[in-house]
Structure 1
Amino acid sequence: MDIFTKFKTLDTAFEQLSAVCKHNPFGTTIEKLLSATVGIINGQETLLFGTNNYLGLSQSDAARHAASEAALKYGVGTTGSRIANGTYSLHQELEHDLAKFFNRRSCMVFSTGYQATLGMVSTLAGKDDYLFLDADCHASIYDGSRMSQAQIIRFRHNDADDLRKRLRRLGDIPGNKLIVVEGVYSMFGDVIPLKEFTQVKKEEKACLMIDEAHSFGIFGEHGRGIAERDGVEADIDFTVGTFSKSLGTVGGYCVSDHPQMDLLRLCTRPYMFTASLPPEVIAATKANLEIIKNHPELRHQLHDNASRFYHALRQAGFLTGPDISSVISIILDDVPQAARFWNRVLELGAYINLSLPPATPDNRPLLRASIAAAHTTDQIDKLVQIYIQAAQDVGLTLNNK
């Protein structure tokens, strides 16, 4: 048997997708960046609406200058993990800055956001514990749960009552209970009703972790996420997130008030056995965190842009997710049509994301757009017109009665 035999189903599905899609939706190459919102793809100027660059900070002058200075001073890599030679003063400064920003005692910085959630979930929950995961949680959370060897219990998406029922079924069975949710879910862009979940957490004496990857820098008076927006930060035990969205760089973090948080540095495998972030990335992240702290107008502009795009799509007759956030998706019924739609949008001059089952919440394909503060109203309006034209070209019927 060939070692690749197990991938035959995937190979067949990709061949079928390639038959209806001229360009590879999972291998799109941005040949040149002209700005945070425009790049060159396939030789043509293209609007970038699939980058998660929510505040446009991947192109900030402050971050670029900080990165350049750090590379000249420290070099371009650490060549080691945080528990070996990979801890520089810059790492400790960023952890201090993030802990202070979140008003928390401690912060751990990871090399990617994936490793932050993977590491925290797999370490905090042991084989005699129970993990309660929202059905739509990110792959990194589910991967971490498998590494943890804990008992995994899924509850219905954004359904606090279902979580309560499942917690109560355990009764007095020994074992810690860790609930894991997200602030904004990355496929539909739907927002958690977090107050309901913190109430369940308190009633059932469980721990609560929230992944604010898609809500950090965007929600809350200071940009700390959904927990800040809903006034429940004191009820959150662990907050994880990423630098690769609003902060515009790469990496991840966990903040907490737990007094033994630093002990996790000695047992969290994705932290212990991965080279630490290079100095230029840490310096750029620190610079962009200062921008988030001092420029609330960026998230205000993002919300205006997202609202404009969402309502325009609804008026045109597209089926969208339930909430307005930085992620706005339209829902289609079948994969071939979604693939043709994505391809046509790219040909018309815009890059978005194609999300396919089984990675989508309800097993229907999605066309996912990331809205940024840096997008102009003209760019937003142009993308709406591109969607309308693409729908017409692929035979998608819009419900615009």
Structure 2
Amino acid sequence: MLDIKKIRGDFPILNREVNGKPLVYLDNAATSQTPKQVIDAIVDYYENYNANIHRGVHALSQEATDKYEQARIKIQKHFNAAKSHEIIFTSGTTHGINLVASGFTSLLKAGDEIVVSAMEHHSNIVPWQMLCERTGAVLKVIPMNDEGELVMQQYDQLLSDRTQLVFCNHVSNALGTVNPIAEIIEKAHKLGAAVLVDGAQAAPHIKADVQALDVDFYTVSAHKMCGPTGVGMLYGKEEWLNKLPPYQGGGEMIAEVTFEKTTYADLPHKFEAGTPNICGGIAFGAALAYMNAISFDQIAEYEHDLLEYATQELLKVEGLRIYGTAKKKTSVISFNIEGVHPYDIGTILDKLGIAVRTGHHCAQPIMDFYGIPGTVRASFSFYNTKDEVDVLVEGVKRARNMLL
């Protein structure tokens, strides 16, 4: 079992108060909190070896380069990529998706088809719409049902010999649904289509094995999994990364530059133009080390217990409906109370020191499907407790009584 008291002691922010109340932080799907071990890694970089990487012969540059590349290897091992150069540092999941979408501009033609799911974050909708506008490709959507699960029979019917790309999130940020990505990948590959999986919401809860999944691209953000903002990674199979042109031009991504012609560097540098978020990459590695030391299996078990308890207790509130009741879920609960706007509930909860997210969660098509303006989303992490769930439930009851 996890030593929750010890774990909570690693997160300084959990000791603060909001509006005179102890902070109950339940907005982990937006951004997780950062443990002292990761904060220390950030401070250590700026205090002791802050320098640009890959270019300097001096000691600080060499040390920073070594730490940065060690972080890349930590990420490679965590996601079980075959080679470290298949890990591209990015500013986050959105960057990774746009990098791939930009690269496929030269590989698609009018009439080609792209398949996405109905429960995507806007970051995994808009870049593909833009790609379709540039190339004349056609966007198709896997529908979802009322439980918040993809209708896989419809997916089968959408696939054809014109399908070139399939994009799906591993876990829905709005509903917590764990999508059947292994099945999605296998069926797409039978037709020769490439698959990108948005792993932003899965990565804090599920240790994805990119080789076992046989996924072509997988992208995540560090700030969802105890790391800093502004850094993430894109995994791509070597053969696909070699096919894609560079996303940006600049320093670091070149082999040779003349005014007549430029040749590009080998992977991963071809996709890493300019000075990167060096400290962020190093801290990302520290965050993965921290979570792996706790154990993702234990994290998953504990969070599942929290999810079941919170679901049970919230459903006791009169008029409360949970959106997203899939059989496989991570620790996310989206809900509304009949007759009450979610924003009003969130505002009252904030006054009680409870941090939740309200709105459409950058997943407006999901809200349109249910015919609602948004939801209240409580998202739990391994440092949350059942006592905090009880505080949430009492806060929701209080908000309901005030607003109805």
Q: TM-score range by the shorter chain?
A: 0.7 to 0.9
Q: Partners of 1:339 and 1:199 in 2: how far apart?
A: 40
| Cα distance change on mapping 1:309 and 1:35 into 2, 3 Å | farther
The within-5 A match list for 1:1-400 is: 35-37=12-14, 39-42=16-19, 45-52=22-29, 58-75=33-50, 88-105=65-82, 106-124=86-104, 126-128=107-109, 129-148=112-131, 149-150=134-135, 151=137, 152-157=139-144, 158-168=150-160, 171=161, 173=162, 177-219=164-206, 223-224=207-208, 233-250=212-229, 251-259=231-239, 261=241, 264=244, 267-269=246-248, 275-279=275-279, 281-296=280-295, 297-317=298-318, 318-320=320-322, 321-323=324-326, 324-332=329-337, 337-356=341-360, 359=364, 361-363=366-368, 364=372, 365-395=374-404
- Bigger drift between 270-279 and 362-371 goes to 270-279
Shift of 1:62: 1.8
> Is the CA contact 1:353–1:367 (under 8 Å) kept in the aligned structure 2?
yes
- Displacement after TM superposition at 1:367 (Å): 0.3
Q: Is the 8 A contact 1:121 1:145 kept in 2?
A: yes
Number of the residue aligned with 2:256 = none
Q: TM-score, normalised by structure 1?
A: 0.74
Question: Is the contact made by 1:209 and 1:236 (CA closer than 8 Å) also made in structure 2?
Answer: yes
Pair 332,360 (structure 1): closer, same or farther in 2 beyond 3 Å: farther
Aligned-partner SS, 1:259:
helix
Contact 1:39 1:48 in 2 (8 A): no
Give yes or no for contact 1:63–1:287 (8 Å, CA) kept in 2: yes
Contact residue 348 and residue 386 of structure 1 kept, 8 A = yes
Deviation at 1:53, TM superposition (A): 7.4
Q: What's the RMSD between the two structures over aligned residues?
A: 3.1
Separation in 1, partners of 2:36, 2:48: 18
Q: Is the 8 A contact 2:342 2:376 kept in 1?
A: yes
- Partner amino acid for 1:50? D
Q: Using the alignment, how far apart are the partners of 1:248 and 1:52 within structure 2?
A: 13
Q: Deviations over 1:208-266 (max 9, x none)?
A: 111111111312xxx22xx68xxx833322111111112332212122333352565x5
CA contact (8 A) 1:63 1:283 kept: no
Q: Which amino acid aligns with 1:284?
A: A
Q: Whole-Å Cα distance in 2 between the matches of residues 108 and 216 of structure 1?
A: 16
What is the TM-score normalised by the length of structure 2?
0.74
**Cα distance between partner residues in 1 of 2:114 and 2:49:** 41
8 Å CA contact 2:194–2:216 kept in 1: the answer is yes
C-alpha displacement of 1:140: 1.6
In 2, are the aligned partners of 1:91 and 1:109 still within 8 Å (CA)? no
Distance 1:142 1:275 in 2: 29
After TM superposition, the structure 1 stretch with the greater mean CA deviation from structure 2, 362-371 or 295-304, is 295-304
Unaligned runs of 5+ in 1: 1-32, 396-401
Q: Report the residue type matching 1:299 in the other structure.
A: A
Alpha-carbon separation, structure 1, partners of 2:397 and 2:365: 23
Q: Specify the SS of the correspondent of 2:23.
A: strand
Shift of the 180–114 alpha-carbon distance from structure 1 to 2, 3 Å rule, reads same
- 1:107 deviates by 0.8
Aligned CA distance change for structure 1 residues 116 and 89 (closer, same or farther; 3 Å): farther
- Report the number of matched residues: 339
Stretch of structure 1 that moved more, 128-137 or 180-189? 128-137
Runs of 4+ off more than 6 Å? none
